Structure 1
Amino acid sequence: MDQQQSIAPRPVEPRQLRFTDDGSTPNSLLPVLLYAMQWPHGTNRAAAFEALFEVHGWPALWRDGVFPYHHFHPNAHEVLGVAQGEARLTLGGTAGQTISVKAGDVLVLPAGTGHRCVTCSEDFVVVGGYPRGQEDYEIERPNARGHAQAVARIAKVALPELDPVLGKEGGVVALWR
Protein backbone atom coordinates (compact mmCIF):
# COMPACT_ATOMS: atom_id res chain seq x y z
CA MET A 1 0.00 0.00 0.00
CA ASP A 2 1.52 3.36 -0.97
CA GLN A 3 1.41 6.44 1.22
CA GLN A 4 -1.43 8.05 -0.78
CA GLN A 5 -3.71 5.04 -0.37
CA SER A 6 -3.16 5.08 3.37
CA ILE A 7 -4.28 8.72 3.54
CA ALA A 8 -7.35 8.85 1.30
CA PRO A 9 -9.83 6.65 -0.51
CA ARG A 10 -9.35 6.38 -4.23
CA PRO A 11 -11.55 9.01 -5.91
CA VAL A 12 -13.34 8.53 -9.18
CA GLU A 13 -11.82 10.19 -12.23
CA PRO A 14 -12.26 13.94 -11.94
CA ARG A 15 -15.01 15.77 -13.75
CA GLN A 16 -13.49 18.41 -16.03
CA LEU A 17 -14.99 21.89 -16.29
CA ARG A 18 -13.75 24.48 -18.80
CA PHE A 19 -14.23 28.23 -18.79
CA THR A 20 -13.26 30.85 -21.32
CA ASP A 21 -11.75 34.27 -20.83
CA ASP A 22 -14.56 36.83 -20.61
CA GLY A 23 -12.41 39.96 -20.80
CA SER A 24 -12.50 40.47 -17.02
CA THR A 25 -11.96 37.00 -15.57
CA PRO A 26 -9.02 35.34 -17.36
CA ASN A 27 -9.88 31.73 -16.46
CA SER A 28 -7.57 29.15 -18.06
CA LEU A 29 -7.18 26.85 -21.02
CA LEU A 30 -6.58 24.14 -18.40
CA PRO A 31 -9.68 22.42 -17.00
CA VAL A 32 -10.94 22.77 -13.45
CA LEU A 33 -10.95 19.31 -11.88
CA LEU A 34 -13.73 18.19 -9.54
CA TYR A 35 -13.13 15.02 -7.54
CA ALA A 36 -15.93 13.31 -5.60
CA MET A 37 -14.37 11.39 -2.71
CA GLN A 38 -16.11 9.12 -0.24
CA TRP A 39 -14.38 9.12 3.13
CA PRO A 40 -15.04 6.49 5.81
CA HIS A 41 -17.60 7.53 8.41
CA GLY A 42 -16.02 9.52 11.23
CA THR A 43 -13.03 10.74 9.19
CA ASN A 44 -11.74 14.18 10.14
CA ARG A 45 -11.79 15.37 6.52
CA ALA A 46 -10.04 18.68 7.24
CA ALA A 47 -7.03 16.91 8.76
CA ALA A 48 -7.16 14.21 6.07
CA PHE A 49 -7.15 16.81 3.27
CA GLU A 50 -4.25 18.65 4.91
CA ALA A 51 -2.23 15.41 5.05
CA LEU A 52 -3.16 14.37 1.50
CA PHE A 53 -2.34 17.75 -0.01
CA GLU A 54 0.97 17.95 1.91
CA VAL A 55 2.10 14.51 0.70
CA HIS A 56 1.44 15.61 -2.90
CA GLY A 57 3.21 18.95 -2.68
CA TRP A 58 0.17 21.22 -2.26
CA PRO A 59 0.51 22.36 1.38
CA ALA A 60 -2.77 23.45 2.96
CA LEU A 61 -2.55 27.04 4.20
CA TRP A 62 -6.00 27.66 5.59
CA ARG A 63 -9.39 26.33 6.70
CA ASP A 64 -12.32 28.66 5.99
CA GLY A 65 -15.04 29.27 3.43
CA VAL A 66 -14.89 30.70 -0.09
CA PHE A 67 -15.20 34.45 -0.61
CA PRO A 68 -18.70 35.55 -1.68
CA TYR A 69 -17.29 37.75 -4.48
CA HIS A 70 -15.76 36.77 -7.82
CA HIS A 71 -12.00 36.49 -7.56
CA PHE A 72 -9.04 34.57 -9.00
CA HIS A 73 -5.37 33.95 -8.29
CA PRO A 74 -3.02 35.27 -11.01
CA ASN A 75 0.11 33.67 -9.53
CA ALA A 76 -1.02 30.28 -8.19
CA HIS A 77 -3.09 27.19 -8.81
CA GLU A 78 -5.41 26.29 -5.92
CA VAL A 79 -6.90 23.16 -4.39
CA LEU A 80 -10.08 23.33 -2.30
CA GLY A 81 -11.07 20.31 -0.21
CA VAL A 82 -14.61 20.51 1.17
CA ALA A 83 -14.15 19.29 4.75
CA GLN A 84 -17.74 19.79 5.89
CA GLY A 85 -21.06 21.14 4.72
CA GLU A 86 -22.14 22.02 1.24
CA ALA A 87 -22.18 25.05 -1.04
CA ARG A 88 -23.07 26.42 -4.42
CA LEU A 89 -20.02 27.95 -6.07
CA THR A 90 -19.84 29.92 -9.28
CA LEU A 91 -16.74 29.07 -11.30
CA GLY A 92 -15.52 30.97 -14.34
CA GLY A 93 -16.66 34.49 -13.46
CA THR A 94 -20.01 36.14 -14.05
CA ALA A 95 -20.56 34.18 -17.27
CA GLY A 96 -19.41 30.92 -15.65
CA GLN A 97 -21.28 27.98 -14.17
CA THR A 98 -22.73 27.48 -10.69
CA ILE A 99 -22.07 24.03 -9.26
CA SER A 100 -22.89 22.27 -6.01
CA VAL A 101 -20.13 20.84 -3.81
CA LYS A 102 -20.42 18.78 -0.65
CA ALA A 103 -18.21 17.34 2.07
CA GLY A 104 -15.56 15.13 0.48
CA ASP A 105 -15.36 16.99 -2.84
CA VAL A 106 -12.10 18.47 -4.09
CA LEU A 107 -11.76 21.27 -6.64
CA VAL A 108 -8.46 21.93 -8.39
CA LEU A 109 -8.47 25.41 -9.94
CA PRO A 110 -5.84 26.43 -12.48
CA ALA A 111 -4.40 29.92 -12.00
CA GLY A 112 -6.79 32.60 -13.26
CA THR A 113 -9.99 30.62 -12.70
CA GLY A 114 -12.74 32.81 -11.29
CA HIS A 115 -14.63 31.49 -8.29
CA ARG A 116 -17.03 32.65 -5.57
CA CYS A 117 -19.45 31.23 -3.04
CA VAL A 118 -23.10 31.87 -3.90
CA THR A 119 -24.57 30.15 -0.85
CA CYS A 120 -23.41 27.63 1.72
CA SER A 121 -24.50 25.70 4.77
CA GLU A 122 -23.61 27.13 8.17
CA ASP A 123 -21.04 24.37 8.73
CA PHE A 124 -19.27 24.81 5.34
CA VAL A 125 -15.48 24.49 5.73
CA VAL A 126 -12.90 24.26 2.98
CA VAL A 127 -9.20 23.39 3.23
CA GLY A 128 -7.23 25.51 0.77
CA GLY A 129 -3.77 24.72 -0.57
CA TYR A 130 -1.33 25.69 -3.31
CA PRO A 131 1.58 23.92 -5.02
CA ARG A 132 4.94 24.30 -3.33
CA GLY A 133 6.50 27.56 -4.47
CA GLN A 134 3.08 29.17 -5.03
CA GLU A 135 2.07 29.59 -1.37
CA ASP A 136 2.36 33.40 -1.62
CA TYR A 137 -0.84 33.56 -3.65
CA GLU A 138 -2.54 36.82 -4.56
CA ILE A 139 -6.25 37.55 -4.84
CA GLU A 140 -7.61 39.67 -7.69
CA ARG A 141 -11.13 40.60 -8.63
CA PRO A 142 -12.16 40.53 -12.28
CA ASN A 143 -11.24 43.81 -13.93
CA ALA A 144 -11.17 44.66 -17.63
CA ARG A 145 -8.50 47.34 -17.10
CA GLY A 146 -6.00 45.00 -15.41
CA HIS A 147 -6.94 42.01 -17.52
CA ALA A 148 -3.95 41.95 -19.90
CA GLN A 149 -1.51 42.12 -16.97
CA ALA A 150 -3.31 39.29 -15.18
CA VAL A 151 -3.24 37.12 -18.31
CA ALA A 152 0.52 37.71 -18.68
CA ARG A 153 1.13 36.74 -15.04
CA ILE A 154 -1.02 33.62 -15.29
CA ALA A 155 0.96 32.44 -18.34
CA LYS A 156 4.11 32.36 -16.16
CA VAL A 157 2.64 30.13 -13.42
CA ALA A 158 4.49 26.80 -13.38
CA LEU A 159 2.53 23.57 -13.72
CA PRO A 160 2.61 21.48 -10.54
CA GLU A 161 4.60 18.25 -10.53
CA LEU A 162 1.87 16.28 -8.74
CA ASP A 163 -1.90 16.20 -8.56
CA PRO A 164 -3.06 17.16 -5.03
CA VAL A 165 -5.34 14.10 -4.84
CA LEU A 166 -3.72 11.44 -7.03
CA GLY A 167 -0.05 12.34 -6.79
CA LYS A 168 1.82 11.10 -9.87
CA GLU A 169 -1.16 9.37 -11.48
CA GLY A 170 -3.78 11.18 -13.56
CA GLY A 171 -5.49 14.43 -12.73
CA VAL A 172 -3.27 17.46 -13.11
CA VAL A 173 -0.33 15.35 -14.29
CA ALA A 174 -2.32 13.84 -17.18
CA LEU A 175 -4.85 16.57 -17.96
CA TRP A 176 -2.79 19.74 -17.60
CA ARG A 177 0.19 18.72 -19.74
Structure 2
Amino acid sequence: MAPQHVEHLQDWMSQMHQLANRADEDGLGFTPDTFGRAKIVDADADSATFEYVVQKSDCNFTNNFHGGAIATLVDNLTTAALFTRERKYFQYAGVSTDLHVTYVSAATLGMTVLLECKVAKVGSGLANTTAVLKDKATNRVLATASHTKFNTDSRMGGGSKL
Protein backbone atom coordinates (compact mmCIF):
# COMPACT_ATOMS: atom_id res chain seq x y z
CA MET A 1 0.00 0.00 0.00
CA ALA A 2 1.38 3.41 -0.96
CA PRO A 3 0.33 5.96 1.69
CA GLN A 4 0.43 8.96 -0.65
CA HIS A 5 -1.94 7.25 -3.08
CA VAL A 6 -4.34 6.24 -0.30
CA GLU A 7 -4.29 9.80 1.08
CA HIS A 8 -4.98 11.35 -2.34
CA LEU A 9 -7.82 8.89 -2.93
CA GLN A 10 -9.32 9.39 0.55
CA ASP A 11 -9.34 13.17 0.03
CA TRP A 12 -11.16 12.84 -3.28
CA MET A 13 -13.68 10.34 -1.92
CA SER A 14 -14.40 12.61 1.05
CA GLN A 15 -15.11 15.50 -1.32
CA MET A 16 -17.41 13.30 -3.42
CA HIS A 17 -19.21 12.04 -0.31
CA GLN A 18 -19.87 15.65 0.75
CA LEU A 19 -21.10 16.58 -2.73
CA ALA A 20 -23.36 13.52 -2.96
CA ASN A 21 -24.87 14.18 0.47
CA ARG A 22 -25.70 17.79 -0.20
CA ALA A 23 -29.38 18.58 -0.13
CA ASP A 24 -31.05 21.24 -2.23
CA GLU A 25 -34.58 21.89 -3.39
CA ASP A 26 -34.48 18.66 -5.39
CA GLY A 27 -33.31 16.49 -2.49
CA LEU A 28 -30.13 14.47 -2.00
CA GLY A 29 -27.57 13.99 -4.76
CA PHE A 30 -27.28 10.73 -6.67
CA THR A 31 -25.78 7.69 -4.84
CA PRO A 32 -24.94 9.41 -1.54
CA ASP A 33 -23.88 6.20 0.22
CA THR A 34 -21.29 4.87 -2.23
CA PHE A 35 -18.36 7.00 -1.16
CA GLY A 36 -19.31 6.92 2.51
CA ARG A 37 -19.60 3.13 2.75
CA ALA A 38 -16.74 2.05 0.50
CA LYS A 39 -13.57 1.48 2.52
CA ILE A 40 -10.16 1.77 0.86
CA VAL A 41 -8.20 -1.45 1.38
CA ASP A 42 -5.20 -0.68 -0.84
CA ALA A 43 -4.12 1.81 -3.49
CA ASP A 44 -1.20 2.58 -5.74
CA ALA A 45 -0.66 4.91 -8.70
CA ASP A 46 -3.08 3.14 -11.03
CA SER A 47 -5.29 0.91 -8.91
CA ALA A 48 -7.41 0.83 -5.81
CA THR A 49 -9.10 -1.94 -3.89
CA PHE A 50 -12.24 -1.19 -1.92
CA GLU A 51 -14.32 -3.14 0.58
CA TYR A 52 -18.09 -2.73 0.50
CA VAL A 53 -20.75 -4.41 2.63
CA VAL A 54 -23.98 -5.12 0.72
CA GLN A 55 -26.85 -3.29 2.44
CA LYS A 56 -30.62 -3.82 2.15
CA SER A 57 -30.87 -0.69 -0.02
CA ASP A 58 -28.44 -2.34 -2.51
CA CYS A 59 -30.58 -5.48 -2.91
CA ASN A 60 -33.45 -6.66 -5.06
CA PHE A 61 -36.53 -8.37 -3.59
CA THR A 62 -34.61 -11.66 -3.13
CA ASN A 63 -31.90 -9.92 -1.05
CA ASN A 64 -29.28 -10.28 -3.78
CA PHE A 65 -27.03 -7.37 -4.74
CA HIS A 66 -29.00 -5.62 -7.50
CA GLY A 67 -27.28 -5.35 -10.90
CA GLY A 68 -28.01 -1.62 -11.09
CA ALA A 69 -26.47 -1.07 -7.67
CA ILE A 70 -23.39 -3.03 -8.75
CA ALA A 71 -23.10 -0.96 -11.93
CA THR A 72 -23.40 2.26 -9.90
CA LEU A 73 -20.73 1.08 -7.49
CA VAL A 74 -18.42 0.14 -10.37
CA ASP A 75 -19.05 3.52 -12.03
CA ASN A 76 -18.20 5.45 -8.88
CA LEU A 77 -15.24 3.39 -7.67
CA THR A 78 -13.48 2.94 -11.00
CA THR A 79 -13.74 6.72 -11.30
CA ALA A 80 -12.31 7.05 -7.79
CA ALA A 81 -9.32 4.96 -8.89
CA LEU A 82 -8.41 7.78 -11.27
CA PHE A 83 -7.72 9.88 -8.18
CA THR A 84 -5.03 7.70 -6.64
CA ARG A 85 -2.54 10.29 -7.89
CA GLU A 86 -2.28 13.64 -9.61
CA ARG A 87 -2.97 13.39 -13.32
CA LYS A 88 -2.62 15.83 -16.19
CA TYR A 89 -6.11 14.98 -17.44
CA PHE A 90 -9.42 14.12 -15.76
CA GLN A 91 -9.20 16.78 -13.08
CA TYR A 92 -13.01 16.80 -12.86
CA ALA A 93 -13.70 13.04 -13.13
CA GLY A 94 -15.27 13.18 -16.60
CA VAL A 95 -18.45 11.43 -17.71
CA SER A 96 -19.13 7.81 -18.61
CA THR A 97 -19.31 6.83 -22.27
CA ASP A 98 -19.41 3.08 -21.76
CA LEU A 99 -19.95 0.87 -18.75
CA HIS A 100 -20.08 -2.88 -19.21
CA VAL A 101 -20.67 -5.25 -16.32
CA THR A 102 -20.67 -9.04 -16.56
CA TYR A 103 -22.48 -10.64 -13.63
CA VAL A 104 -20.88 -13.96 -12.76
CA SER A 105 -22.28 -14.98 -9.37
CA ALA A 106 -24.78 -13.62 -6.85
CA ALA A 107 -23.78 -11.43 -3.93
CA THR A 108 -26.15 -11.47 -0.98
CA LEU A 109 -27.29 -9.09 1.71
CA GLY A 110 -24.55 -8.60 4.32
CA MET A 111 -21.77 -9.98 2.12
CA THR A 112 -18.47 -8.09 2.15
CA VAL A 113 -17.40 -7.47 -1.43
CA LEU A 114 -13.92 -6.50 -2.62
CA LEU A 115 -13.73 -4.27 -5.69
CA GLU A 116 -10.37 -4.33 -7.41
CA CYS A 117 -10.30 -1.27 -9.68
CA LYS A 118 -7.51 -0.66 -12.19
CA VAL A 119 -6.73 2.26 -14.46
CA ALA A 120 -5.74 0.79 -17.83
CA LYS A 121 -5.08 4.08 -19.64
CA VAL A 122 -5.63 7.79 -19.22
CA GLY A 123 -5.33 10.01 -22.27
CA SER A 124 -6.35 13.57 -22.98
CA GLY A 125 -9.83 12.51 -24.10
CA LEU A 126 -10.64 9.09 -22.68
CA ALA A 127 -9.81 6.99 -19.63
CA ASN A 128 -10.22 3.22 -19.52
CA THR A 129 -10.69 1.36 -16.25
CA THR A 130 -11.60 -2.16 -15.18
CA ALA A 131 -13.00 -3.74 -12.05
CA VAL A 132 -13.33 -7.21 -10.57
CA LEU A 133 -15.81 -7.75 -7.72
CA LYS A 134 -15.12 -10.67 -5.39
CA ASP A 135 -16.65 -12.19 -2.29
CA LYS A 136 -14.11 -11.29 0.39
CA ALA A 137 -14.67 -14.52 2.32
CA THR A 138 -14.17 -16.93 -0.60
CA ASN A 139 -12.40 -14.83 -3.25
CA ARG A 140 -15.14 -16.00 -5.68
CA VAL A 141 -15.59 -13.62 -8.63
CA LEU A 142 -19.01 -11.96 -8.57
CA ALA A 143 -18.70 -9.58 -11.52
CA THR A 144 -16.20 -8.09 -13.94
CA ALA A 145 -16.47 -4.68 -15.55
CA SER A 146 -14.95 -2.22 -17.96
CA HIS A 147 -15.61 1.52 -17.80
CA THR A 148 -14.70 4.23 -20.31
CA LYS A 149 -14.85 7.89 -19.36
CA PHE A 150 -14.75 11.06 -21.46
CA ASN A 151 -12.68 13.99 -20.18
CA THR A 152 -14.74 17.12 -19.40
CA ASP A 153 -11.90 19.28 -18.02
CA SER A 154 -12.14 21.89 -20.81
CA ARG A 155 -15.90 22.26 -20.28
CA MET A 156 -15.63 22.78 -16.53
CA GLY A 157 -13.39 25.88 -16.65
CA GLY A 158 -12.68 27.90 -13.50
CA GLY A 159 -13.92 26.76 -10.11
CA SER A 160 -12.26 24.28 -7.81
CA LYS A 161 -11.15 20.88 -8.97
CA LEU A 162 -12.59 17.71 -7.47
Tell me the TM-score normalized by structure 2.
0.28
Question: Of Structure 1 and Structure 2, which has the larger fraction of its residues in helix?
Answer: 2
TM-score when scaled to structure 1? Answer: 0.27
Considering Cα pairs closer than 8 Å and 6+ residues apart, tell me whether 1 or 2 has the greater RCO.
1
Tell me which protein shows more strand as a share of its residues.
2
